Amino acid sequence: MYSNLSDHPHLTEVFTTAHGAVFQNDTDRCWQVNFAGKNARFDYRCLLKLRTAVYRIDIEQRLLDSTKSPDVEIIFICACDHCYVLSLAQIIALRDLLEGTFVMLELNQIIYDRLHRVPAYI
Amino acid sequence: MKDLVRVKTLISSDIEALLNKQIKMEAYSSSVYLSMASWCNRNGYDFSSNYFFKQAEEERQHQLKFFKYILDMGGNSVSPDVTNIKQEYNSFREVFEEALDQEINVTQSIKNIYARCLKEQDFVTIEFLNWFLKEQREEEYKARRALELFEVIGEEGTGRWQIDKHVGEIKYDSQA
């Protein structure tokens, strides 16, 4: 768990919720997803695959599902080392975390453009 | 914090999704044209059948252009599922009416991607799309001209035979 960022100066917090956090590692060009009790490392392609896998789950349909099937979803990402077994509440929390993360990454791109790439606009 | 996303890809995920949708549409168009080629061939309209075979091949090339562009820009191209292709038509004219509808749908879809690119200031993709906009001028012209033949020749007597013969000669050579 990366609760104390000063211990890990190469990590930058991207987005945090009450249930998890995502940090960016500039040195290794990857992201650390701290969620559901584990800290998993994702490169860009795998982070996109994780987002697609989570967004694809039909939460509304699962909420309305009255069958006795277990209330868990296995999120397995092809060609990635990690796998999540999550309850419905955790899926909602992970979706929140990823939505926020991608908004922040987009914001970072806008800020980076303005500060370093197209400074004439400032 | 470094901008790692931009390092990996030139296009945004929204543009990537729209381009993937377009890949699917081009693949669908190609299959529809192939089905039209089959119908025309079975019903004795050989020139029209050849015309649709060529159109199917063109749509396939368009699909590949989009596919390769996404990959070149660091995105993820998705090979599409193509289903629900209509195999039977009620008339010779209906084939061409649906061909024009198909081309109009493609043009509108490309315009929609263009509008999104303008909003995001994605001028690189806009430049890529310019080729398709010009191509759609030709595609719509040819489809519209084919339908026009039904009006000017008429379907009575040997009309359909004449129309079929002229469909094979439709060309778009505007320099505008």
Residues of A in contact with B8 (CB under 8 A): 44-45
The closest CB to that of A26, out of B2, B6, B8, belongs to B2
What is the structure's pLDDT at B89? 97
pLDDT of A6 strictly over 50: no
Residue B113 forms part of a structural domain: yes
Full residue range of the structural domain in which residue B137 is found:
4-167
Q: What is the CATH number of the domain that holds B36?
A: 1.20.1260.10
Residue A99 CA, chain-centre distance (Å), reads 8
Rounded distance between C-alpha atoms, residue A75 and residue A57, angstroms: 10
The list of chain B residues with pLDDT below 50 reads: none
Residue B176 forms part of a structural domain: no
* Interchain pair B13, A102: CB under 8 A: yes
- ipTM value, please give it: 0.74
Per-position DSSP letters for B88-141, written without gaps between them: --S-HHHHHHHHHHHHHHHHHHHHHHHHHHHHHT-HHHHHHHHHHHHHHHHHHH
Beta-carbon pairs below 8 A across chains A and B: 34
Residue B8 forms part of a structural domain: yes
**Tens digits of residue pLDDT in B48-99:** 999 999 999 999 999 999 999 999 999 999 999 999 999 999 999 999 999 9
Residue B74 forms part of a structural domain: yes
pTM score of the predicted model: 0.83
Residue B69 forms part of a structural domain: yes
* Interchain pair A24, B8: CB under 8 A: no
Is A55 part of the contact surface with chain B (CB cutoff 8 Å)? no
Overall domain count for chain B = 1
Q: How many CA atoms lie within 13 A of B71 on its CB side?
A: 10
Helix (H), strand (E) at residue B7? helix B4-8
pLDDT of A62 strictly over 70: yes
